[in-house]
Amino acid sequence: VQDYHFGLEEGEGISELFDCD
Amino acid sequence: RAAMNNIQQLTMILNSAADKPSETLIKYFNNCTVNPTDSILKRVENLEHIFKKKFAEAVGQGCAEIGSQRYKLGVRLYYRVMESMLKSEEERLSVQNFSQLLNDNIFHTSLLACALEVVMATYGRNASQSDGASAETDLSFPWILNVFDLKAFDFYKVIESFIKAEPSLTREMIKHLERCEHRIMESLAWQSGSPLFELIKQSKERESQSDQPEPTAT
C-alpha cells in the first residue's frame, strides 16, 4: 500500500465521489 | 509461485466470506430511508447472468463453470468490501443512513466490477504465465467494463476506496488496480460518451455563474 498514490483528500471518501450528503 | 500465492491468499480471505450480505450489512440496509436490499440482491442476480454469458462466450462453453466460480468469489469480495467501506464512512461522517449511496446503481455495479477485476486478475495472471495464448488473458481489464456496460470514469471512483477498504489485497493486486487507474486517467476516461465531459461542462457553468466575467484561461 505504501507505493500506492492516494488521490482522495483528507476527509474525503466514497460518499463524496457519488455525490451523497 | 508468486501467482499461486496470490490465488491462495485470495481464496483464504474469501473462503470464510459469505455469498450474501452479512448481518452488519443488513443493518446498514435497514437504516436507509429507502431499503436497498431487494435491488442489491436482484442486481447481483442479473449481473450474474450477464457475466456468465459473456465469460462463456469469451472462453468457450466448456469453461462456463469457471465463470460461475469467478463470479461467486467476486460477489463475496463485493459484500466484504462494501461492509468495510460503510464502516469507515460511518466513522468518518458519523451517520448510519447511506440511503443515497446504497441505492446508487452505478456505485454497486462499479464496486462489483472492481471485486471481479481483482478475482479475474488474480487468476488471469496465473493463466497467462503458464500459457501465453490462454483465452483468460483476453478477459483482462477493461473487459469487465464492457461486460457490465460501465463507464471507465465511474469505475475509477471506487478504486481508491476499494484498496483502503480491503487491507488483505496483495501488493501485486494493488499494483494491478493502480495500472487500471492509470489507463483510465490516460485514455479510457477521455473516450466519447464519458461522463467526464458533462462534469467539466457543469463545472465551467458553475464557475461562470459564480464569478465575474473573466477571460477564459487556457
Which pLDDT score, from 0 to 100, does residue B215 have?
60
B100: closest CA of chain A, how far (Å): 6
CB contact under 8 A, A14 and B85: yes
Considering only the beta carbons, identify the residue of B101, B174, B178 that sits closest to A15: B101
Which pLDDT score, from 0 to 100, does residue B132 have?
47
Which pLDDT score, from 0 to 100, does residue B72 have?
96
Q: Mark which residues 157-176 of B lie under 8 Å from A by CB.
A: 157-158, 160-161, 163-164, 167, 171, 174-175
Which pLDDT score, from 0 to 100, does residue A20 have?
55
Residue whose grid cell is 458533462: B198
The rounded distance, in Å, linking the Cα atoms of B158 and B136 is: 24
Q: For chain B, give the number of residues.
A: 218
Contact B88, B24 (CB under 8 A): no
Q: Which residues of B touch A4 (CB under 8 A)?
A: 163, 174, 178
Which pLDDT score, from 0 to 100, does residue B31 have?
97
Per-residue pLDDT of chain B (218 residues; tens, 9 = 90+): 888 888 888 888 888 888 999 999 999 999 999 999 999 999 999 999 999 999 999 988 888 899 999 999 999 999 999 999 999 999 999 999 999 999 999 999 999 999 999 999 999 854 444 444 455 447 999 999 999 999 999 999 999 999 999 999 999 999 999 999 999 999 999 999 999 999 899 889 988 887 655 566 55
Residue whose grid cell is 483502503: B164
Q: Which residues of A touch B163 (CB under 8 A)?
A: 1, 4
Which pLDDT score, from 0 to 100, does residue B5 have?
83
Q: For chain A, give the number of residues.
A: 21
B89: closest CA of chain A, how far (Å): 7
- C-alpha grid cell for residue B43? 442486481
Q: ipTM for the complex?
A: 0.83
Which pLDDT score, from 0 to 100, does residue B127 have?
47
Which pLDDT score, from 0 to 100, does residue B214 have?
59
- In a 13 Å sphere around the CA of B159, the CA atoms on its Cβ side amount to 25
Q: Mark which residues 15-54 of B lie under 8 Å from A by CB.
A: none
Q: Which of the residues A16, A20, A21 would you substitute to probe the B interface, choosing the one with the greatest number of B C-beta atoms within 10 Å?
A: A20
CB contact under 8 A, B161 and A11: no
The rounded distance, in Å, linking the Cα atoms of B134 and B130 is: 8
